[in-house]
Amino acid sequence: MKSQWIPGNQFTLLENGEAFFPAVFDAIAQAKREVLLETFILFEDKVGWALHEAVLAAAHRGVQVRMLVDGFGSPNLSAKFTGELAAAGVRLRAFDPQRPLLGFRLNVFRRMHRKIVVVDAERAFVGGINYSADHLLDFGPHAKQDYAVEVHGPLVSEIHRFTRAAINEPSGPRRWFARRPPLAQAAQPAAGGAQAIFVTRDNHAHRDDIERHYRVAIRAARKRVIIANAYFFPGYRLLRELRRAARRGVEVTLVLQGEPDMPIVKTGAELLHNHLQRAGVKIYEYCQRPFHGKVALTDDEWATVGSSNLDPLSLSLNLEANVIIRDRGFNQQLSERLEKLICDSCKEVATTASAQPSLWQIVRNAFVFHVLRRFPYWAGWLPAHTPVVVEVAAAPAEPATERTTERQACEHGV
């Protein structure tokens, strides 16, 4: 791997919207120069309007605010919402928006799925939490369980460099994914003892970086692996590493959705249960409400938090971002949260290792597995197009850019 561990960082685990939104809004309120924000979903509910108010206040006091939302995840922002941002000088852009065709949105497989905030190049947030009210407990039984981290230290400079290049209009094709531009500011001073890597996934130069970090960590595990992931349907190589780890005596635990927001998620994961359980992997389903987290840890130091699921969309098509952390304190904190989650809100999936599947079940499961695993690749062929970034709200002083082609992702786009 080309990534290098960056020492001197501090990470704060933020669980659900109750911890995440106040921290982000406070950071924006304290911003002096710049706010960069990427998100998959921005809804016009109480959370979206709270973000709207926060960035407007920042823009009015002279802070440069730049935002990028996904065209599929955030398709219906109103003229009032975007117009007020534009009037204040906020630059809001949408990644690959498309008009529905016969009532269907065709950009489902071409998504900017990252969730990143960087304030003054000094404070960053990375995780899986969108700007919508369903990340708050008072939303009810469909409120999502999720995680993010607040970052201080030298890694923030790397996150800032990437996010600024991703939001700004590139000067040439594939600039985002060929060579990252030099830092615009000096690296941040040490803020803690954690080593970390900021890892992104695209469809050009970094196709499998996040998955490779998972596989290396699982291969190196000697005591335990805990993966809590909302959409779990990884490829053969990652499944193989999980089985090998369990067979050599590592305690391997998966926390998956028990009440999924999409039924096919549970169906797909259940196809893997017997295959993993026969090797000794323990599987739990979170049943209190929808699980949306994308976190994992191994042994006593390694952990990851980010936007990437372990499914074909995240591993094959989406634009994703995770932080990989080496720190005993953070690992312990995440471990305690997940163990409490397992104890209080999960049920263990009964093992079926003794049952001998029929020939029909073997053939059926193999067929469904490979179809589900490969369908994003096939969907990427039809229709093939270059993704675009559209100006939704731009500062009046800036030159108007109606539609800017950005060769982000791969030839067919995300």
Give the residue numbers annotated as catalytic, written as ranges. Answer: 113, 115, 120, 292, 294, 299
- Please give the distance of CA 58 from its chain centroid, rounded to a whole number: 26
Interatomic CA distance for residues 237 and 305, integer angstroms = 21
Kindly state the DSSP code that residue 43 receives in the 8-state scheme.
-
Helix segments in 133-208, DSSP class H: 155-167, 175-178
Residue 309 burial by Cβ neighbours in a 10 Å radius (0-12, 13-18, 19+): buried
Q: For residue 137, report the phi and psi dihedrals to the nearest 5 degrees.
A: -60, -35
In the block, which residue shows the tokens 């779990």? Answer: 232
- Inter-residue contact 110 to 408 (CB < 8 Å): no
Asked whether 334 and 303 are in contact (CB, 8 A), the reply is yes
Task: State both tokens at 252.
Answer: 């391997």
Residue 62 backbone phi and psi in degrees, to 5: 100, 5
Q: Position of tokens 């990028």?
A: 68
- Single-letter code of the amino acid located at 4: Q
Left (φ > 0), alpha (ψ -120 to 50) or beta: where does 174 sit? left
The continuous run of DSSP H or E covering 346 comes out as strand 346-348
Q: What is d(CA 20, CA 125) in angstroms, rounded to the nearest whole number? A: 9
The DSSP secondary structure of 66-119, one letter per residue, reads: EEEEETTTS----HHHHHHHHHHT-EEEEES----BTTB-GGGGS-B---EEEE
